[in-house]
Amino acid sequence: MTTTPSQTSFSGPGLSARAAGLDPHAVTISGIVLDPVYGPNTTIESLANVDRDIAEPGVYPFTRGLYPEGYRTRLWTMRQFAGFGSAEDTNQRFKYLLEAAKGTHANTGLSTAFDLPTLMGRDSDDPLSVGEVGKCGVAIDTIEDMHRLYADIPIDRVTVSQTINGPAAVVWAMYLAMARQRGIAWDTLGGTIQNDILKEFHSQNEYIYPPEPSVKLVVDTIEFQTRRVPKWHSVSISGYHIREAGSTATQELAFTLRDGMEYVEACLERGLDVDDFAPRLSFFFNSHNEFFEEICKLRAARRIWARMMRERYGAKSERAWFMKTHVQTAGCSLTEQQPLNNIVRVAYQAMAAALGGCQSLHTDSMDETLGLPTERAATVALRTQQILAHETGVTRTVDPLGGSWFIEKLTDTMEAEALDFIAEIDEMGGGPWPTGRAGVVAGINKGYFRRQIAEASYRYSEEVEAGDRIIVGVNAYRETGEDRPIDILTIPAEVETTQVERLTEFKARRDQAGVERALGAIRAAARAGENVMPALVEGALANCTLGEMVQALADIYGRYTGGPEW
Q: What is the pLDDT along the chain (566 residues), one digit of tens a residue?
A: 344 443 323 333 334 444 445 565 678 887 788 888 999 889 999 999 999 999 999 999 999 999 999 999 989 988 877 788 899 999 998 898 888 777 655 556 788 999 999 999 999 999 999 999 999 899 999 999 999 999 999 999 999 999 999 999 999 999 999 999 999 999 999 999 999 999 999 999 999 999 999 999 999 999 999 999 999 999 999 999 999 999 999 999 999 999 999 999 999 999 999 999 999 999 999 999 999 999 999 999 999 999 999 999 999 999 999 999 999 999 999 999 999 999 999 999 999 999 999 999 999 999 988 887 888 998 999 999 999 999 999 999 999 999 999 999 999 999 999 999 999 999 999 999 999 999 999 999 999 999 999 999 999 999 999 999 999 999 999 987 665 667 777 788 899 999 999 999 999 999 999 999 999 999 999 999 999 999 999 999 999 999 999 999 999 999 998 754 43
Query: Does residue 301 form part of some domain?
Result: yes
Strand ranges, E, within 355-476: 360-362
Query: Does residue 131 form part of some domain?
Result: yes
Query: Does residue 234 form part of some domain?
Result: yes
Closest among 329, 355, 347, 469 to 407, alpha carbons compared: 355
| Residue positions counted in the chain | 566
Residue 423: which domain range? 45-466
DSSP at 26: -
What DSSP assignment string belongs to 301-357?
A: HHHHHHHIIIIIS---SHHHH---EEEEE-GGG--SSSTTHHHHHHHHHHHHHHHHT
Specify whether the backbone of 12 is left (phi greater than 0), alpha (psi in -120 to 50) or beta.
beta
**Spatial separation of the C-alpha atoms in residues 373 and 369, rounded to whole Å:** 9
Say if residue 129 is exposed, middle or buried (CB neighbours under 10 Å; 0-12, 13-18, 19+): buried
Query: Does residue 450 form part of some domain?
Result: yes
Q: Whole-prediction pTM value? A: 0.93
Instruction: State how many domains the chain has.
Output: 1
pLDDT score of 1: 38
Angle between helices 533-541 and 512-527 (to 10 degrees): 170
pLDDT score of 27: 83
Residue 179's identity, in one-letter code, is A
Q: Which residues contact 526 (CB under 8 A, 6 or more apart)?
A: 213, 532, 552, 553, 555, 556, 557
| Integer angstrom CA distances of residue 368 from 213, 291, 435 | 34, 21, 45
Query: Does residue 472 form part of some domain?
Result: no
Which secondary structure element, helix H or strand E, spans residue 193, and what is its range?
strand 191-193
Q: Is the dihedral of CA 129, 82, 231, 155 positive or negative?
A: positive
Which residues does residue 233 pair with via DSSP β-bridges, in sequence order?
A: 192
Query: Does residue 56 form part of some domain?
Result: yes
Say if residue 545 is exposed, middle or buried (CB neighbours under 10 Å; 0-12, 13-18, 19+): buried
How many CB atoms neighbour CB 130 within 10 A?
A: 12
pLDDT score of 16: 41
CATH of the domain at 199: 3.20.20.240
Query: Does residue 302 form part of some domain?
Result: yes
Say if residue 376 is exposed, middle or buried (CB neighbours under 10 Å; 0-12, 13-18, 19+): middle
**Spatial separation of the C-alpha atoms in residues 29 and 390, rounded to whole Å:** 31
Residue 189's identity, in one-letter code, is L
Query: Does residue 521 form part of some domain?
Result: no
